[in-house]
Structure 1
Amino acid sequence: MATPLQVSASSTIGARNEELEASSSGLVGENDLLIVGPGVLGRLVAQKWREEHPGCQVYGQTVTSDHHEELINMGINPSLKDTKSTYKFPFVIFCAPPSRTSDYPGDVRIAASNWNGEGSFLFTSSTGPYDCYDNGPCDEDSPTVPIGRSPRTDVLLKAEKIVLEDMVWIFAIYSLLKVTLTMLYKSDRGAHVYWLQKGIVESHPDHILNLIHYEDAASLSVAILKKKLRNRIFLGCDNHPLSRQEVMDLVNKSGKFSKRFEAFTGTNDPLGKRMNNSKTREEIGWEPKYPSFFQFLESI
């Protein structure tokens, strides 16, 4: 008989799938969480959720099994997106990117069908659909662009419509979190890392970015999930928008990186928007660990 250390990864994954199937028979805990797309953000959400709810089970739904062993080692029970099951969870967060699927809105609908309606279903989106330009102000209540203006924003708008409108008739209690995905970052990941590698980038230096550290995006997501709010839109950012040039000037001055950024050379690409999430902070009772990109750089 094999010892636990001799069990193969595939056997371990099989055991996890059996455990996942067991949840369909009513064994799902009141604080169990399903993460659809357990990447960098999803894994941090899992960590923070378990800190808030010791003893809960966290599940991760993926497109492939490539990282299932990693997830198991992190205490996340993995399953494949196409695995058919009848189990449902009280808390579900969708943080899969639209880049890995041909039917993003459909994937959101399927993910929502895994929710039992008791806690929260949270969809992480982007600030892209907000109809704000030329570095102008924007917040949770700003209007969105109309369907048809851009294929890129259409994908997100259709997914959001499923969460906020089309699926409301089932439970009428969906929550939507708008997280600034234009510059989610940490020390080794984010736009600043990419630009450092390039050295010279053909983009407008004055384009405004809205930043949020991965840890802060995760803590905000958990805080919203715990509130069990209904049919709402929230915004995640650090309230210290910076231009591309300001970001990279801070990186160069920090002395924390081995490479040095040279220049942005673009002149014709569009500008951004200045996001403010004061309403979200007041309602959720949340503040970021890293109040600004500058303070993050000082901490590393």
Structure 2
Amino acid sequence: MFQLRLRQKVKPLISLRYADEWVGFLVLLSLVIFAGAVIEAGVLRDWLTPPARLRVVLPASGVGGLTVGGDVQLMGAHAGTIRSIKLNPSGNMYALVDLDPQAKPFIRRDSSAIIRKQLIVTGAAYLDLSRGHGEPMDWSYAVVSATPAPNPADQITATLNSIQAEIMPALASARHMMAQLDGTISDMHAGKGTVGQLMTNDQLIKQAEATIVSLNGVIDRLKPIENQISGIMNKTDATVANLKGASHDLKGATPHLPGIAANLDASTADLPALLAQAQTTLYGLEKLTDQLRGMWLLGGQKVVRHNRLSPKQVRP
């Protein structure tokens, strides 16, 4: 019976149909995924379009936080990756950068690089390339220099130090002034000085009150004089107004003064001749009067006259 069982054909527990087809499908799927990963990683693109190689000379202070695989930006856009950081025989450090070929026209001999932080103060460091406008770059051996960006923390620290340097002398002066003020107030309360005596001595206050009372009396006596002065000022104002009117009239008459003076000169030019004629006429009347008196009809009186000189014969 046992021999019969052994001779019987053993059947597999699980039978797989199309196993070879499924294996081939998985292999093809793996190849497709691998090709997609290669394309996504840019390996194929690097093989077909090799990147531009740029050497960035790092500052003497060090790498400034740059790491291999760090980002390289141009005008705010991703332009490459840091592939390695090396040390040259002269002791300077430089970074090898793989740039996108599309960025080559923007990098020229006057371009430079700045090491910046992603979050200004913290975060990963990256290289920020500046756009050049000079001569084209020789890409067989392209080199640019890098400088670290100013650290805002250092600027804030320097600003705080300068503020502290300016504030501390002011605080010292304020303390000195407060000490002097405290001493002055203490002396005033102790009765030192004029103000201290006014605060502590009642006699000075009484004298001041008496002086104020006397000043009030003087002011009361001056009030009538003030009224008189007001009247005088009113009269003065009226006089000034009259003077203004007279000056106005004189100003109006001033244009006629040359004509009046000319007429006066013309009139005075004839005065000597008129005076001479008047003298001659008076002399003739005087002779006629003497003759009339000597006539017998009028009494026959003879008038004796002294010889008088004619006005024309008078000489100095």
Q: Which has the higher contact order (CA 8 A, sep 6+)?
A: 1
TM-score (norm 2): 0.18
* Higher alpha-carbon Rg: 2
TM-score (norm 1): 0.18
